[in-house]
Amino acid sequence: MRSPRRVLAGLVTIVTLALGLGAARDARAQNICANFFPLVTGTYADRLGVTVSGVTTTATAHGVTGLSLGGATGTTCTTYVLDQFVARFDFQLVGVDPGEEVWFDINSVEYPLDGSNLTTNPNTTAQPLFATGGRLRSAGADGSAIAEITAFNMTQVRMCGSGGNGMIVRPTVQSFCQCANGHSHYNEDCDDGNLTGGDGCSAVCEIEIGWSCTDNPAVMGTPSTCVFGCGNGMVGAGEACDDGDTMGGDGCAANCTEEGGWTCTGTMPSACTPFCGDGARRGGEPCDDGNMSAGDGCSSTCTVESGWACNGEGPGSCTSVADGDGDGVADVSDNCPAVANPGQGDGDGDGDGDACDNCPAVANANQANGDGDPLGNACDNCPAATNPGQENTGGGVAGDACDDRDTDSVIDTLDNCVATANGNQVNPLCQRS
C-alpha cells in the first residue's frame, strides 16, 4: 500500500482556503497541488483542463517572461476557462507606464483590485504599482508588482491591459489537488474517481478501515484499486497472513494463506521468508542446494559461499570455482589442480594431465608408485627399487636396480648371494660378487 505523501516538491506553497466547496471534502483534499503558466489549451497539473483564448504572444523584460498585453493596438486580453475550481491566481507585472492599466475579470465579472491584492514590490523595477478604481496603474515609468487573487469557485480569469506601449503580465494558476478525479496525489491516501464512501476510498480520499488501496501516482488517469479484507495488510479472522497485496508467489497467497516453502510472521502486515535448505529457490534466495550445511557452495542461510558458483536449485547446483594453480581452470575441472597447465594436455588419456602424470605415456589413472621415485609403477623399469635414472646396462626389461642374476626372485641389490639362488636368503657361506 502506498503511504500518503505529506511533502510537496517544488515551489508550490501550501495554502488552505475555506472555499465553500461542500462538507464532502476536508482541508487535506483542498491543498494546492501544482502551479503553472498555460499558453495553449490543454490539461495541466491535476488533470485540470484549461482553454486559452485571446493573446498568447509573450515578451520578456527584467527576466520576466509573460503575456504581452496592451500597446498600440489598444486593449488586449487573454482568457483562461478552467474545468475545475482553482485556489488562487498570481500575477507578476512589469513594464507598466503612466497612462497604462491592467485589470482582471473573475468568472466574467471584473475583480475590484485594492492594496490587499498587492505584495511587496519584488524590486524587478524600482517603480511599484498601485490600485485605483479596481485597476492597477503606475505613477512612474516601468512599474512592477505581484498581485494575488483568491475568490470562491474560480473557474475563469480574463487578464486585460491597455494603453501606452504595452506591458508584460505573467499569470500563474495555483490549482487544487482534486479528490475524486481518479489520480492520487501527495496529500491523498487514495483516489478511486468518486466521492462515494464504503468502497475503500472515502469521500475525502482517505483509505477506509479494513481496506487496502493501490495506485500508480506517476500515471494520470489510473484510479486507486481498493480491496476489503485479504490484501489490506492486517491479519484478520480466518487469515494465516496478510502482506498487503493479493498476489501469490511471495509467501502469502491471494487468499491470505501461507504458501508452501514459506513462513510468515507479523500481522500489520505479514512478512514472509522462504525456507532455506528445502532444495527450492524462492523469494530471491541466491541458492538452495537442499541442505543447510556449509562448505558445499550454498551456506546455511542460502547464500553463495566464496569460491563457488550456484545455478538452479537442489543438490549439485553449486560448483567450486577455486583455481589453486592459477591456470584459469577451476580445480574441480583441472586434470592437474596443483600444477599450472592451462592446455590440460593428457597424452595417455588416463585423466591425469601430462604436467602431473608420473607416467605421461602410459595410462595409469591410479598413479601407483611403489618405490617413491618420480616414475609410476606402470612405466618404471624397476618399480620395487628407487632408480630415478632408470639405468639399464644389461638391456633387459628390468633396470639395473632390479637385476636378479641367480633368478631367485631377490634382486641383486638386496640378495645376500647374487651368484647362487637362495630365495630364503639363508646361505652364510656365499660370497657376494
Per-residue DSSP letters for 96-124?
Answer: E-TT-EEEEEETTEE----GGGBPSP-SS
pLDDT at residue 386 tops 70: yes
Distances (CA, A) of 331 to 235, 360, 365, 378: 51, 20, 17, 26
Q: Do 327 and 422 sit in the same domain of this protein?
A: no
Report the CATH number at residue 96. Answer: 2.60.120
DSSP-derived letter for residue 282 is -
Q: What is the pLDDT of residues 199-247, one digit of tens each?
A: 989 988 898 887 878 877 666 668 898 888 888 888 888 889 999 888 8
Q: Do 117 and 150 sit in the same domain of this protein?
A: yes
Cell digits of residue 290:
537442499
User: Do 342 and 329 meet the contact criterion of CB atoms below 8 Å apart?
Assistant: yes
Is residue 56, in this structure, part of any structural domain at all? yes
The residue that leads in pLDDT, 337 or 285, is: 285
Is residue 194, in this structure, part of any structural domain at all? no
Residue among 17, 86, 29, 33 at smallest CA distance from 201: 29
3-state helix, strand, coil in the chain (%, to 5): 5, 25, 70
Is residue 345, in this structure, part of any structural domain at all? yes
The residue that leads in pLDDT, 124 or 155, is: 155
Residue 3's SS3 state is coil
Q: Do 112 and 42 sit in the same domain of this protein?
A: yes
Q: Is the backbone peptide bond immediately before 286 cis, with ω within 30 degrees of 0? A: no
Q: Give me the number of domains the chain comprises.
A: 4
Question: Any bridge partners for residue 304, and if so which?
Answer: 298
Is residue 308, in this structure, part of any structural domain at all? no
User: Do 53 and 82 meet the contact criterion of CB atoms below 8 Å apart?
Assistant: no
pLDDT of residue 321: 82
Q: Do 361 and 373 sit in the same domain of this protein?
A: no
Q: Do 54 and 132 sit in the same domain of this protein?
A: yes
Q: Do 49 and 131 sit in the same domain of this protein?
A: yes
pLDDT of residue 230: 87
Q: Where are the beta strands (DSSP E) in 215-261?
A: 225-228
Q: Do 64 and 158 sit in the same domain of this protein?
A: yes
Q: Do 328 and 341 sit in the same domain of this protein?
A: yes
Q: Of all residues in the chain, what percent carry a pLDDT higher than 70?
A: 91
Is residue 12, in this structure, part of any structural domain at all? no
Mean pLDDT for the chain overall: 84
Q: Which of 176, 201, 217 represents a domain boundary (last residue)?
A: 176
Q: Do 338 and 430 sit in the same domain of this protein?
A: no
Is residue 17, in this structure, part of any structural domain at all? no
Q: Which of 176, 211, 234 represents a domain boundary (last residue)?
A: 176
Is residue 110, in this structure, part of any structural domain at all? yes
pLDDT of residue 10: 26
Q: What is the pLDDT of residues 171-192, one digit of tens each?
A: 999 988 878 888 877 778 889 9
Any residues with CB less than 8 A from the CB of 386 and at least 6 apart, and which? 371, 372, 373, 401
Is residue 269, in this structure, part of any structural domain at all? no
Cell digits of residue 149:
487573487
Domain that holds residue 332: 322-367
pLDDT at residue 18 tops 60: no
The residue that leads in pLDDT, 337 or 110, is: 110
Q: Which of 126, 161, 176 represents a domain boundary (last residue)?
A: 176
pLDDT of residue 8: 24
Q: Do 429 and 326 sit in the same domain of this protein?
A: no
Q: Do 383 and 329 sit in the same domain of this protein?
A: no
Q: What is the pLDDT of residues 238-294, one digit of tens each?
A: 889 999 888 889 999 988 999 999 999 998 899 999 999 999 999 889 999 999 999
Q: Do 327 and 424 sit in the same domain of this protein?
A: no
